[in-house]
Amino acid sequence: MSKENNLYGQLIILTGPSGAGKTAVAEEIKKRESSISRIVTYCADRGPREGEKDGVDYNFISREQYQIMISQGKFLEDNCVENSGVKVSMKATGRGELEEIRRGKTLIWIIDSGRAADIKEYISEKGYEDIAEASTVFYIGVPSIKEMNRRQKLRDGEKYIQESAFNRIRAEWKIWKENQDKYDRVIINECGKLGETVDKIFEVAVRK
């Protein structure tokens, strides 16, 4: 990183499979380090679910607003989930979300592992090469496939469907096999050892 960029904050990118504990890791980082401003907030084309807060979990907007913002180039990137060719979920990162890093702030960005593999190249192409330099991508892994399934079952509760969970696991394994060399650091988030996981991130990314 250049001397000029030493005045910047940092972008801590957390990625990994469903059930790895990325959100828990992010919250623990924030709890420990007051200099970290916040977790990057996505825009979502839906209303809040139970327990979610506008401006905290997501910036909730209508699908019409979402499409207008896309046409105006206000998103750095957007991530759509499709079912049989129909867009059923849309969320995006606003261009202004990462600019606080240029003012010395440190942010946490949680994204899926497929997008994270090439995220530095992507944001560089979008005019954020300086922020890419200030970024570290941490892949938060799970000790075993059995543990990954257990965590998904715990998280999904009554909505858990074994076939769907196994499909997610297979998809994540494929992403890992194809992209494992692209992540800056790989950290296994062992059950009951959240503190140790965060310690390892602090060793690399949090300046004292």
User: Would the pLDDT of 1 be above 50?
Assistant: no
| Residue 87 or residue 33, greater confidence | 33
Given a contact cutoff of 8 angstroms between Cβ atoms, the answer to whether 28 and 194 are in contact is yes
Domain boundaries, the chain: 4-40+103-205
User: Would the pLDDT of 169 be above 90?
Assistant: no
Least confident of 39-53, 108-122, 145-159, 180-194: 145-159
Least confident of 55-59, 77-81, 114-118, 194-198: 77-81
User: Would the pLDDT of 44 be above 80?
Assistant: yes
pLDDT tens for 110-154 read 998 888 999 999 999 999 999 999 999 999 999 888 888 887 788
Quick one: pLDDT at residue 207? 56
- The three-point CA angle 93-16-187 to 5° equals 125
CA distance 145 to 173: 9
Q: How many residues does the chain have?
A: 208
User: Would the pLDDT of 4 be above 80?
Assistant: no
CATH no., domain 4-40+103-205: 3.40.50.300
Given a contact cutoff of 8 angstroms between Cβ atoms, the answer to whether 95 and 77 are in contact is no
Look at the block and give the residue holding tokens 């940092």: 10
pTM: 0.83
